[in-house]
Structure 1
Amino acid sequence: MSDPSIDAEGRLRHLITLDGLGRARIEGLLERAVSLRAQFRAGATSLPLLAGRTIVNLFFEASTRTRTSFELAARRLGATVVNFDIASSSTSKGETLEDTLATIEAMGTDAFVVRHKENGTPARLAAHARRAAILNAGDGNRAHPTQGLLDLLTIRDHKQRIDGLTVAICGDIRHSRVARSAVHGRRALGAAGIRLWGPAALLPDPDEFPGCSLVDDFDAALDDVDVIVMLRIQKERIEHLPGLDEREYFSRYGLDRARLARAKRDAIVMHPGPMNRGIEIADEVADGPRSVILEQVANGIHARMAVLAELLAPH
């Protein structure tokens, strides 16, 4: 079966995952993001690349950063944005997602930005879409491709490359779509080593992350790394970790200034948000000179603009 994410001419039709997307296509999206960012930094307030296009946000999970940045990205490119009200939609009356998609697509919608708690939902919708593009804004623990792109963009801003870098991803990796897209993107662009660290109960099966090192000692995981990605730990998951409360979790698994000192002197600290300060990351690190967390947020708009333009702008 052909890949529904690629059209007959080899162009990107949907963005479901970075896995298998390929180095050239990922680098092309990053270069487009850089170009768009430069135009706005030079004074542009909007670009009419998507004038006349309509984009619908289908968010079945709460979101602040992703939904807002997708909306800003679309509007800055001249598109009309519709935020779908899940609570009052026909899906609450039993209508299937596929029928909801077909109904709204029939109104002339050009793209759907989809976030859903179930793995594979954006891919399901992409298989049923007749003409609209589907953009995965996060599904279950499977993928969050635009988060992966904005993280790559932020790393390149500071390191000028991905090749040869050593990256540590720390926290609840088993349940993290961010971690999976991070690994897919960094592997495609040649990261030298990816270390995964966290409580044993929150680490993935090794077979799911081939080529990555599962490290059971946080200090060892941070030794001489270039990039540290801290993941949010849900408080209810801490409650199910034997012998741990929030204070003990931070003591054993949190990133503070002392632990950060084990990384390279120019290592950067990333976090996809929202942060649990004092649980997975200390204030002094989150707000410190090596933190690029707010840069990630800003780059999210440019990365999502690049994806929208790639999928919807005239070629």
Structure 2
Amino acid sequence: MKKIFMLPLMLLALLSLTACSPAANEPVIPETPEQPGSGDSEEPTAPTPGSNRQYLVLFTSRSGNTEEIAHEIRTQLDCDMLEVVPETAYEEEYNAMLERAREELEAIQQGQYPAIKTFMDDFDNYDLIFVGYPIWHGSMATTMQSFLHTHSSKLAGKRIALFATSGSSGITTSVREAEELCPGSEILEHTLLLTSSSLSQAGSRVTSWLEQLNIHTENNDDMENNTIRLTVNGASFTATLIENPSTNALKERLAQGSISIRMNDYGNMEKVGSLGFSLPRNDSQTTTGPGDLVLYQGNSLVIFYGSNSWSYTRLGKVDGVSTREEMLDLLGGTGDVTVTLSLD
């Protein structure tokens, strides 16, 4: 009987000890969630490779404008390129995108960066990293801010060259943001900003910018050479171009290949023909003479064998020509003719 009576008492004592154990009173601590964009467990993204492994072009782009500049840099340098992609694509509707960008910029001020899909293990092999982005509300696009924030320690000691596109905003604020995001990196003084009005000059602007950065490209050589060759009926002669945005854009076109223009006589003083594309223009009242090359209305080349006074953009002059007869002789006389332009 005593054994039967003692069994419930022993069970009751055991339950009391279990209820009072320290483990039962300890709170359950949840695991700390990974911060968006931290990249600790993300697979690295491989850049599109180029033959020149000194440089990397990083860019983010919503409408394609910044991507166009990134591709131009990559083309001129034949280097690696990587697009920084947001976790959630931006809205196609412009105002909706701007509202989201505003909210993300406000969140960044509180230390909360939007999530991205793009991550890199290291940047050890690169001498210089180009970082490109659109400017939203005067600031660097939030996607690129996330990337720089996430990779700040890996970018320490690296040189960074900034390029951006915008409707009308400047680049100054975004430069300061880059310096704050990457305090261990060297943000280069020379930056490149293209607005909607200057985007058509991307090639020549990139070439000039690379020159400022002391980066040698084949395009640098082409841009420095102001001599072009004109071929008529199998015979060729040269002309020397002046320095202006129009001739820089023309040389950029010629760097891609020769241009053939069908030209006809006008006013017993010139041959004129459509380029088939437009160049930047800076028209002013100009008095021309034999051998002068001018741009008319932004899209036509005029070669003078006579003289005229009108509003043109000067391009240059045929070498060694001073008279009407000399110029007409090079052009094969009067009448329609095809003139082929090429870099000398």
| TM, length-normalised to structure 2 | 0.33
Computing the radius of gyration over CA atoms, which structure comes out larger, 1 or 2?
A: 2
| TM, length-normalised to structure 1 | 0.35
The structure with more helix, counted as a fraction of residues: 1
The structure with more strand, counted as a fraction of residues: 2
Relative CO higher for 1 or 2, CA cutoff 8 Å, sep ≥ 6? 1
